[in-house]
């Protein structure tokens, strides 16, 4: 099954959105919302540490996790490939076993989703997915919180969301979110770039999923327009080919005119203005990209409060 954890069930990990218990996603978004409004968080990480492992670049994920861990009373320890033994080939299984003896949680951004699962299998502390090639669940927590703030909590199942471009880690995560919450998801993706087949099938059994090659059809009367870079981290050499293949999937004002008048535009960032989205849309009145980015902090704090409270029993 897509995103299914193969881990000790007594230990809470967050490898995909499906690791949240039924109802927990709603609770977590509610808590994230209250934190965004200034509620003082508890300090479940008092005297504890969380390793923040990055095998790819990051601005938002790194800083929001470091700040979030700090606000919850703990210490974040940043590790990159460049200055840890992971970059010199030490297996993630050994790394997980060693880190588990020092820290109380591990966040990792890596390439293959199997690498994340390997780390989680060998970890004795909660592992959080800070992005893999297959899923980016922390980003979706922030995106869903942004939807909640703009449309209201009860409106979420009735929304129509349109995704444009690559069937990548973000598209796959949107599929799991749609399956969990029941909103309609339309994916306008060129041939050859379809999302993960298992995630597509899983979500398709639970809600209305439309996969189309026609961006205009996808945009019709939707509440949300969203996209991502055409070449993700690790795909830099394919950039020219992708630019050609995705050219007609750009989110621009002409496309946005088809959406509802009260639609919002989301992008996980970083973005390339003039490629997957125009500057007019990015910086226009419907854009919520900076609210979305801020929500990374609130949503991840809510996540850690849930994980570390549960880890305490
Ligand atoms: N959206 C996101 O994950 O951004 P970073 O790559 O800057 O962490
Ligand atoms: N799809 C992008 C998301 C970056 C936050 C990537 O994987 O590079």
Q: What ligand 1 atom has the least distance to the C-alpha of 61? A: 8
pLDDT in tens, 138-150: 999 999 999 999 9
Distance CA(178)–CA(185), nearest Å, equals 6
> Looking at the chain, which residues constitute the CATH 3.40.50.1370 domain(s)?
17-136+296-311, 138-292
As a whole number, mean pLDDT of residues 4-15 equals 66
Q: Which residues contact 237 (CB under 8 A, 6 or more apart)?
A: none
Which of 108-122, 169-183, 201-215, 297-311 comes out lowest in average pLDDT?
297-311
Q: Which residues contact 124 (CB under 8 A, 6 or more apart)?
A: 11, 97, 100, 101
SS (HEC) of the chain: CCCCCCCCCCCCCECCHHHCCCCHHHHHHHHHHHHHCCCCCCCCCCCCEEEEEECCCCCHHHHHHHHHHHHCCCEEEEEEHHHCHHHHCCCHHHHHHHHHCCCCEEEEECCCHHHHHHHHHHCCCCEEECCCCCCCHHHHHHHHHHHHHHHCHHHHHHCEEEEECCCCHHHHHHHHHHHHHCCEEEEECCCCCCCCHHHHHHHHCCCCEEEECCHHHHHCCCCEEEECCCCCCCCHHHHHHHHHHHHHHCECHHHHCCCCCCCEEEECCCCCECCCECHHHHCCCCECHHHHHHHHHHHHHHHHHHHHHHHCC
How far does the centroid of ligand 2 lie from the alpha carbon of residue 293, in Å? 14
Instruction: Work out the burial of residue 236: count CB atoms within 10 Å of its CB; fewer than 13 is exposed, 13-18 middle, 19 or more buried.
Output: exposed
As a whole number, mean pLDDT of residues 88-97 equals 96
Question: Does the CB atom of residue 142 touch ligand 1 within 6 A?
Answer: no
pLDDT in tens, 257-301: 999 999 999 999 999 999 999 999 999 999 999 999 999 999 999
- On the question of pLDDT at 3 being above 90, the answer is no
As a whole number, mean pLDDT of residues 183-192 equals 98
Question: Does the CB atom of residue 173 touch ligand 1 within 6 A?
Answer: no
Task: Specify the CATH architecture of the domain 138-292.
Answer: 3-Layer(aba) Sandwich (3.40)
How far does the centroid of ligand 1 lie from the alpha carbon of residue 228, in Å? 11
Distance CA(66)–CA(50), nearest Å, equals 9
CB of 148 closer than 8 Å to CB of 177: no
Counting ligand 2 atoms within 8 A of each CB, the residue from 112, 172, 228 with the most, and so the one to mutate, is 228
How far does the centroid of ligand 1 lie from the alpha carbon of residue 59, in Å? 6
> What is the pLDDT, as a whole number, of residue 7?
38
Catalytic residue list: 109, 136, 139, 228, 268, 296
Could you tell me the fold of the domain covering 17-136+296-311? Rossmann fold (3.40.50)
CB of 293 closer than 8 Å to CB of 269: yes
- In the chain, % of residues over pLDDT 70: 96
């Amino acid at each position: 099954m897509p995103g299914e954890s193969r881990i000790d069930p007594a230990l809470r990990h967050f490898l995909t959105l499906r690791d949240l218990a039924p109802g927990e996603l709603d609770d977590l978004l509610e808590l994230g919302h209250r934190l965004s409004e200034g509620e003082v968080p508890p300090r479940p990480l008092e005297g504890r540490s969380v390793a923040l492992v990055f095998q790819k670049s990051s601005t938002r994920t790194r800083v929001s996790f470091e700040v979030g861990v700090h606000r919850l009373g703990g210490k974040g320890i940043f590790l990159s490939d460049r200055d840890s033994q992971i970059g010199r080939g030490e297996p993630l299984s050994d790394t997980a076993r060693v880190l588990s003896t020092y820290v109380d949680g591990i966040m990792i951004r890596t390439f293959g989703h199997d690498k994340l699962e390997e780390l989680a299998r060998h970890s004795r502390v909660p592992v959080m997915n800070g992005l893999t090639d297959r899923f980016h669940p922390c980003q979706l927590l922030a995106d869903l919180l942004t939807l909640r703030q703009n449309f209201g909590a009860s409106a979420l199942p009735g929304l129509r969301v349109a995704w444009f471009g690559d069937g990548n880690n973000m598209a796959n995560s949107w599929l799991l979110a749609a399956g969990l919450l029941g909103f309609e998801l339309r994916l306008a993706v060129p041939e050859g770039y379809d999302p993960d087949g298992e995630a597509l099938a899983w979500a398709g059994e639970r809600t209305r999923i439309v996969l189309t090659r026609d961006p205009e059809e996808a945009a019709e009367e939707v509440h949300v327009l969203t996209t991502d870079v055409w070449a993700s981290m690790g795909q830099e050499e394919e950039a020219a080919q992708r630019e050609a293949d995705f050219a007609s999937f750009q989110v621009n004002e002409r496309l946005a005119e088809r959406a509802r008048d009260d639609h919002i535009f989301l992008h996980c960032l970083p973005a390339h203005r003039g490629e997957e989205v125009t500057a007019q849309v990015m910086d226009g009145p419907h854009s919520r990209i900076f609210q979305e980015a801020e929500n990374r902090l609130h949503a991840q704090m809510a996540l850690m409060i849930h994980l570390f409270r549960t880890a305490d029993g």
